[in-house]
Structure 1
Amino acid sequence: MKSTIKLVFASIIIAVSIIACNSQDAEKEAEIVNLKAQLAQIAKTNATIAENLKTFDELDFEVYSNQDWKRLHESHSDDILVHYPDGHTSKGIEDHIKELDPMFVFAPDTRIEEHPIKIGSGNITAVVGELKGTFTEPMPIGNGEFIQPTGKSFKLPMSTIGLWNEDGVMYEEYLFYDNQAFLKQIGLAK
């Protein structure tokens, strides 16, 4: 009888151990499935960030630098909200183009050629580059008046932060560069 009890007791311990192992295996499998799902989401987010940064490179290097405004919709939503270095904003892609155009009147070689710093997180990207050009044409200042060109070039650090929607276009943009340094470099400020 004692050996039967021992045998039953040993069988119960073995059964409990097997159930515990199976339960642990199921928990481990569930954890592995959860971790794989998290990794897939991280990979998807990183791919989206990389695609948005690639789009932004093309925006600055090709669309902006070549004033190819008909392509601006590839990276900007129709109702984009843009924040400029002096603190004012514009709403809509057409108003944004009106804000960009004047720089090319007095500095037709205005360009951005590289983004040595590019980062992103979720739906936000940030780039740092250099805004370059030369003040070679008269600068309109209103009422038919102009500032004559100084022939001086500018090279300014700039940064753009973009907020992107799920369709891969920016719906909000923050532009940063030093306006005072810009005016100094082109000879219009001390």
Structure 2
Amino acid sequence: MKTKLNFTKAVMAILLVLTVTNFSLAQKSKNEYKAEVEQLKSELAKIAETNEVIAKNLATFDELDFVVFTNEEWARLHESHAEDILVHWPDGSTTTGIERHIEDLKKMFVYAPDTRIKEHPIKIGSGNLTAVMGVMEGTFTKPMPIGDGKFIDPTGKAFKINMVTIGLWDDKGVMYEEYLFWDNLTYMTQLGLAN
């Protein structure tokens, strides 16, 4: 009986020590948890702010392709592009400046005046970067200038190709660098200019 009583006292003493220890740990942890929760709230607020910027940039890009590009509203290109934008083209060439970019874009409409982008099946962003897949389509209905006053006669063929634009955005919500990707062989084949 005495052994049982000593065992019971020992268990009670251990439980008391554990309870006191847990209480002091809980108090310490409560303060630590509060600090961690505040830190997490701060980090979540930053993520939410970043996501708002990404969503705004993607909405600007939708407007760029669906309205500005498709309707050739070149005077509005500055809404999405910096004056000194660096543009990387699918053929590996680069250009600098919004005016040069506008001239290059206009050339696409000379031989296919119905060129358009009406859908973005994939849109993603991270930080100051967006990546958008668009579907560019149109019809080769007008002569295509090839230099020295020479032209390629229209084939009347329609094209529909996937293209990707990667944009780097500044804190004013305009792209300062743009990467354009599409398969030029597929494009030329659909135009009837390659096999």
TM norm structure 1: 0.89
In the alignment, does 2:95 pair up with 1:100? no
> Aligned equivalents of 1:141 and 1:69: distance in 2?
23
TM-score, scaled to structure 2:
0.87
Which of the residues 140, 148, 154 maps onto 1:149? 154
- Matched AA of 1:183: M
Residue in 1 aligned with 2:88? 83
What is the root-mean-square deviation in Å for CA atoms of aligned residues?
1.7
Matched, 1:49 2:54: yes
Runs of at least 4 residues of structure 1 off by over 6 A? 13-18
Unaligned runs of 5+ residues in structure 1 are 1-12
Equivalence for 1:32: 37
What is aligned with 2:171?
A: 166
Q: How do 1:63-74 and structure 2 match up within 5 A?
A: 63-74=68-79
| Corresponding residue number in structure 2 for 1:120 | 125
Instruction: Report the count of equivalent residues.
Output: 179
Which residue of structure 2 lines up, in the alignment, with residue 109 of structure 1? 114
Instruction: Tell me the CA shift for residue 28 of structure 1.
Output: 1.3
SS at match of 2:52: helix
Secondary structure at the residue paired with 1:188?
coil
Provide the rounded CA distance (Å) in 1 between the counterparts of 2:140 and 2:19: 86
Give the letter for the 1:188 counterpart. L
Secondary structure of residue in 2 paired with 1:126 = strand
Please give the alpha-carbon distance, in whole angstroms, between the structure 2 residues aligned to 1:163 and 1:147.
35
- When residues 152 and 17 of structure 1 are mapped into structure 2, their CA distance, relative to the original with a 3 A threshold, is closer
Q: 1:187 aligns with which of 180, 187, 192?
A: 192
Query: What's the CA shift for 1:98?
Result: 1.3
